[in-house]
Amino acid sequence: MKNKKFFCLLLLTGIIILFNGCRTSRQTTSIALSKMSKEERIESIKYQAIPFNTLSSSLRFSIKPGLNKSTTPANAQLRIIKDSIIQLSLRIPILNTEVARIIVTPEQVMIIDRNNRRYFSESIKTFKEKVSFDFDFYSLQALFTNQLFIAGKPSISLEDYKTFLLSEDDYLVKLKNTDSQGINYDFTSDFTKRIIQAEMYKDEINMNWLYKDFGLASNNKLFPMKMTMELTVPNDLITLNLTFNTVDIDNDFQIDTSIPNQYQRIDIEQIVKLIQSL
């Protein structure tokens, strides 16, 4: 019940690192894999990840917050400064006015409610304690940018390769890892050597992050222009669809994390109610 209580917050911030339930959806392809060792396979997948120092894109997203709920569409602006900050700005369609801003750094989580002049801010450590799961900035960054990752690490080293279990058939390869909290991570790739699905699961919660429609970003590297996140909780399925517009790489920008003086600080219970209302 506690996981259900927080699912709206987890969906919009992407802060979901606990999961179980359905098995990986197998995407079909008619092109066979080339033969590689595990180390070569991991290296080839890492090589396909888009290089960036900054990444930004306007996007359209829709949320279906349950099996019997209707889909809610909205606009957003995503900005990432690598290994430093992720900002998701939620906007009203047509008017494009910002209604909320979500900011995540390796040290802090912040949510700003523009409509009601309120904000939520906590350290990552305190945030973990309040929502009772292990939150990791670098895993979130990797999910948004279609990269292989190990929970809690900014990057994967050669020494980390041995921690992955490899399984494959003629067309699909899966790399599996398990972190210190017992959370399982499955990454599926095909002949393109790109990640087409990341799955995280534990106990009765499962999250699938699916990637498709790879198109050129501004640096002429391929990026998944559509992402779907499927969160399975007991007796329910929550779906988030992201459709990116032009993805700009290494543009120079600043992210404002200041809070206006007149804004009132609120707690996590109030921010969950806010996001449910959005």
Does 249 reside within a domain?
yes
Amino acid at 177: N
Does 237 reside within a domain?
yes
Question: Within a 10 A sphere around the Cβ of 94, how many other Cβ atoms?
Answer: 7
Contact of 124 with 133, CB cutoff 8 Å: no
Give the sign of the dihedral formed by CA 139, CA 62, CA 13, CA 179.
Answer: negative
Does 140 reside within a domain?
yes
Task: Please give the backbone phi and psi of residue 151, each rounded to the nearest 5 degrees, phi first.
Answer: -50, 130
Does 177 reside within a domain?
yes
pLDDT at 134: 61
Does 265 reside within a domain?
no
Contact of 114 with 101, CB cutoff 8 Å: yes
Q: Which residues of 203-228 are buried (b: 16+ CB within 10 A; e: fewer)?
A: eebbbbbbbeebeebbeeeebbbebb
SS3 46: helix
Predicted TM-score (pTM) of the model is 0.85
With a cut of 70, which residues of the chain have pLDDT below it? 1-29, 66-68, 70-71, 94-95, 130-135, 272-278
Selection from 139, 123, 166 nearest residue 268 by Cα? 123
Could you report the per-residue pLDDT of 234-278, keeping only the tens digit for each?
888 888 899 999 999 999 999 999 999 999 999 877 776 666 555
CA 42 to chain centre: 20
For 93: left if phi > 0, alpha if psi spans -120 to 50, otherwise beta; the answer is: beta
pLDDT at 124: 82
CATH assignment of the domain containing 221: 2.50.20.10
pLDDT at 274: 63
Q: Give the domain range for residue 245.
A: 2-253+270-277
Does 9 reside within a domain?
yes
SS3 53: coil
Distance, CA of 179 to CA of 152 (rounded, Å): 9
Q: Which residues on neighbouring strands pair with residue 215, listed in sequence order? A: 223
Does 264 reside within a domain?
no
Task: Please give the backbone phi and psi of residue 128, each rounded to the nearest 5 degrees, phi first.
Answer: -55, -45
Q: Which residues on neighbouring strands pair with residue 98, listed in sequence order? A: 91
Selection from 110, 78, 60, 76 nearest residue 253 by Cα? 78
Total number of domains constituting the chain: 1
Distance, CA of 126 to CA of 204 (rounded, Å): 24
Does 59 reside within a domain?
yes
Amino acid at 99: V
